[in-house]
């Protein structure tokens, strides 16, 4: 579904720092600094020495010439660029690949709602309630489970409250977790990392917010939507 203009190139991670930067060593031995579109903790996906995959910057005038796109973990590719999930989901919805989100005539992105928020996708159709879809990128895996979040997310908790408000208004609200890896057996909230978010997710689903999860298939050439993933939203806290 999503194709890179140029196939990714392999490198070795030296270190990640300042949230959005990483130093890597290219296969010819050159050391460069890459841009990283990921503000999370990246637990298990940013260890020095890991094999990483880079794309060239589309703007030749940009100071940082490379983007960090993926990392190899236990022989599996894992996507770490959080700028991709919204586009992947939008394209997948348009192509009818997400069964839970079919039957809508229009898709709009970044529509204002709530308190200083923008919904990732707003789906609309005649004679149907609006469907508000929030997309969260997932790359953390622990014990065979894909988990979210990998750091405390007050913003994510706020989004759950705003989705609940849409349900109370008689509309549909969906929390969609896109797991940028294929090696997980199910999804659950990382309750030990952010217990407030885990409780908020459990409450939101009781209040009518729908939660769904899909994996991704990744290659150095692109990223496709994968299979739906079973979810365990049981409160453990």
CATH number of the domain enclosing 94: 3.40.1350.60
Tell me the pLDDT of the chain (237 aa) as tens digits: 789 998 899 999 999 998 899 999 999 999 999 999 999 999 999 999 999 999 998 888 889 999 999 999 999 999 999 999 999 999 999 999 999 999 999 999 999 988 888 999 999 999 899 999 999 999 999 999 999 999 999 999 999 999 999 999 999 999 999 999 999 999 999 999 999 999 999 999 999 999 999 999 999 999 999 999 999 998 655
| Same domain flag for 98 and 65 | no
| Domain range enclosing 187 | 85-228
Q: Which CB contacts under 8 angstroms, 24+ apart, belong to 121-130?
A: 121/86, 121/89, 121/90, 121/93, 123/93, 128/103, 128/104, 129/170, 129/171, 129/172, 130/166, 130/171, 130/172
Place of tokens 């690949």: 97
Helix (H, G, I), strand (E, B) or coil at 49: coil
Tell me, yes or no, whether 105 lies in a domain.
Answer: yes
| Same domain flag for 100 and 168 | yes
Q: Which pLDDT value is given to residue 114?
A: 81
Tell me, yes or no, whether 159 lies in a domain.
Answer: yes
Tell me, yes or no, whether 234 lies in a domain.
Answer: no
Closest C-alpha to 181, from 39, 12, 42, 54: 42
| Same domain flag for 30 and 112 | no
| End position of a domain, from candidates 79, 109, 135 | 79
Measured N-to-C along each axis, helices 195-206 and 154-168 cross at an angle, to the nearest 10 degrees, of 10
Tell me, yes or no, whether 236 lies in a domain.
Answer: no
| End position of a domain, from candidates 44, 79, 114 | 79
Tell me, yes or no, whether 140 lies in a domain.
Answer: yes
| End position of a domain, from candidates 17, 51, 79 | 79
The residues, ordered by sequence, that sit 6+ positions from 180 with a Cβ below 8 Å of its Cβ are 78, 79, 80, 84, 85, 137, 138, 139, 216, 218, 223
| Same domain flag for 221 and 110 | yes
Tell me, yes or no, whether 152 lies in a domain.
Answer: yes
| Same domain flag for 28 and 120 | no
């Amino acid at each position: 579904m999503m194709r890179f203009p140029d196939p990714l190139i392999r490198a070795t991670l030296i270190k990640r720092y300042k949230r959005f930067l990483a130093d890597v060593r290219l296969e010819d031995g050159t050391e460069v600094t890459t841009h990283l579109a990921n503000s999370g903790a990246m637990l298990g996906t940013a260890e020095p020495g890991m094999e990483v995959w880079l794309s060239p910057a589309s703007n030749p005038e940009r100071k940082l010439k490379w983007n960090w796109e993926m990392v190899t973990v236990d022989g599996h590719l894992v996507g770490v660029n959080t700028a991709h999930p919204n586009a992947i989901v939008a394209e997948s919805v348009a192509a009818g690949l997400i069964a839970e989100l079919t039957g809508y005539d229009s898709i709009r992105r970044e529509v204002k709602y709530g308190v200083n928020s923008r919904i990732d996708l707003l789906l609309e159709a005649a004679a149907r309630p609006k469907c508000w879809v929030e997309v969260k990128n997932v790359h953390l895996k622990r014990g065979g489970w894909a988990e979210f979040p990998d750091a405390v997310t007050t913003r994510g908790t706020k989004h759950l409250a705003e989705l609940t408000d849409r349900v109370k208004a008689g509309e549909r609200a969906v929390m969609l977790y896109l797991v940028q890896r294929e090696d997980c057996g199910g999804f659950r909230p990382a309750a030990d990392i952010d217990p407030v978010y885990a409780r908020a997710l459990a409450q939101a689903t009781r209040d009518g917010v729908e939660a769904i999860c899909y994996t991704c298939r990744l290659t150095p050439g692109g990223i496709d939507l994968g299979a739906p993933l079973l979810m365990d939203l049981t409160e453990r806290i």
